[in-house]
């Protein structure tokens, strides 16, 4: 009981402390924009931002824009991570594939993600296809790197056990390599989810035809509508946060067997 109450107070302290700076910042924000200390074009009042959010939500179908961005994100993410896991499994388990492909992959990976956008836009246009390809590449890279790393560091003992038990190649993959690489794969997929959201935003900024939250922000910037930009950026953050949480929960669930070992 006492441990529980100690935990409770600890939690309360944490929440109180965590809220202190944000609340202070909000107060400073409100005061400085109300008193005209800062040009309201640069720092619109909270009320203004709130009204903009309301307007976008109710009149301008913000949810619609968001779902467009999200479906792009998810489509690209699934394509990229599934292809990535398969690709990395092949690289990690086949010596030939590893020697042939891994160096080239490592070379291509050096090219910063966003630098692909002009090329993609020439090859795939500015439409949905180009955006999803880009998001998929963004998810693909971290998934491959982490899956590969995880499979390569499968414990030697386990591999030997597999030999001793005369596992078929498929059995070795499903019983030894995949389970022991699972934590790394989860990390890769988690990173892939974050990167794919970044890429979704990037795709909407740079392949600026069509709708979505990113396009909304770009429009806000073009009209010098700081409140709209803030709403958009806030939503980007919120989605990023939600995706991160979901990935974290999924990871914890999938890896729950590890806790027993520890």
Partner 1 sequence: MTFSADTVSSASVKSRSGKKFFTARRARRTAVALFLPVSLTLLWWIASDRGWLPEQILPSPAYVYSTMIEMIGSGEILYHAGVSLRRVVIGFIFGALAGLALGMGMGLSRRVDDYVRPLFLAFAQIPTLGWIPLLMLIFGIGETLKIIVIAKGALVPMAMNTAAGIRAVPADFVEVGHALRFSRWQTLRLIVLPGAAPAIFTGIRYGLTHSWTALVGVELLASSEGLGYLLVWGRQMFWLDVVMVAMITIGLIGFAMDKSLDASENYLQRWKKEGAD
Q: Is 35 in the site for partner 1 (CB under 8 A)?
A: no
Decide if residue 231 touches partner 1 (CB under 8 A). no
Least Å from the CB of residue 261 to partner 1: 18
Minimum Å distance from CB 233 to partner 1?
Answer: 5
In angstroms, give the least distance from the CB of 95 to partner 1. 10
| CA distance linking residue 217 with residue 220, whole number of Å | 5
Indicate which single residue of 62, 92, 136, 217 sits in contact with partner 1 (rule: CB under 8 A). 217
Angstrom distance (rounded) from CA 221 to CA 232: 10
Q: How far is the CB of 124 from partner 1 (least distance, A)?
A: 10
Q: Which is nearer to partner 1, 148 or 206 (CB)?
A: 206
Question: Which of the stretches 45-53, 182-190, 199-207, 247-255 binds partner 1 when contact is defined by CB under 8 A?
Answer: 199-207
Signed CA dihedral, 207, 208, 214, 220: sign only: positive
d(CA 76, CA 81): 8
Alpha-helix runs per DSSP H in 110-222: 116-124, 128-152, 156-164, 169-171, 178-206, 213-222
- 66-87 as b/e: b if 16+ CB within 10 A: bebbbebbbbbbbbbbebbbeb
Helices (H) and strands (E) in the chain, counts: 12, 0
- Supply 164's token pair: 């001793």
- Name which of 64 and 248 has its Cβ closer to partner 1: 248
Nearest CB to partner 1, comparing residues 153 and 174: 153
Selected binder of partner 1 within 6, 7, 12, 13 (CB under 8 A): 13
Report the C-alpha gap between 179 and 163 in whole angstroms: 17
* d(C-alpha 232, C-alpha 227), whole Å: 9
Q: Is 20 in the site for partner 1 (CB under 8 A)?
A: yes
Tokens standing for 6? 């100690």
Given candidates 17, 166, 256, 259, which one binds partner 1 under the rule CB under 8 A? Answer: 17
Site for partner 1 in 130-169 (CB under 8 A): none
What does the block give as tokens for 42? 């640069």
Footprint of partner 1 on 62-121 (CB under 8 A):
99-104, 107-108, 110-119, 121
d(CA 125, CA 128): 9
Q: What is the binding site for partner 1 (CB under 8 A)?
A: 13-14, 17-22, 25, 42, 99-104, 107-108, 110-119, 121-123, 197-198, 201-202, 205-206, 217-218, 220-221, 224, 226, 229-230, 232-233, 236-238, 240-241, 244
């Amino acid at each position: 009981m006492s441990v529980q109450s100690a935990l409770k107070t600890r939690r309360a302290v944490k929440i109180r402390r965590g809220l202190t700076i944000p609340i202070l910042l909000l107060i400073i924000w409100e005061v400085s924009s109300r008193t005209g200390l800062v040009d309201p074009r640069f720092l619109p009042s909270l009320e203004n931002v709130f009204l903009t959010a309301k307007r976008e939500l109710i009149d301008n179908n913000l949810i619609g824009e968001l779902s467009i961005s999200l479906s792009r994100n998810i489509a690209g993410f699934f394509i990229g991570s599934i292809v990535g896991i398969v690709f990395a499994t092949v690289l990690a388990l086949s010596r030939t594939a590893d020697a042939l492909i891994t160096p080239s992959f490592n070379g291509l990976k050096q090219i910063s993600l966003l630098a692909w956008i002009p090329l993609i836009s020439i090859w795939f246009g500015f439409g949905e296809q180009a955006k999803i390809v880009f998001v998929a590449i963004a998810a693909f890279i971290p998934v491959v790197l982490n899956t590969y790393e995880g499979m390569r560091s499968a414990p030697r003992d386990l591999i030997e056990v597999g030999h001793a038990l005369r596992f078929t190649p498929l059995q070795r993959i499903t019983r030894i390599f995949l389970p022991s690489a699972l934590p790394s794969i989860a990390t890769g997929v988690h990173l892939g989810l974050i990167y794919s959201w970044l890429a979704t935003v990037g795709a909407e900024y740079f392949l600026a035809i069509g709708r979505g939250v990113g396009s909304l922000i770009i429009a806000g910037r073009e009209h010098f509508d700081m409140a709209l930009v803030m709403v958009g950026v806030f939503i980007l953050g919120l989605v990023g946060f939600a995706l991160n949480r979901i990935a974290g929960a999924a990871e914890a669930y999938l890896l729950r067997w590890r806790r027993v070992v520890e």
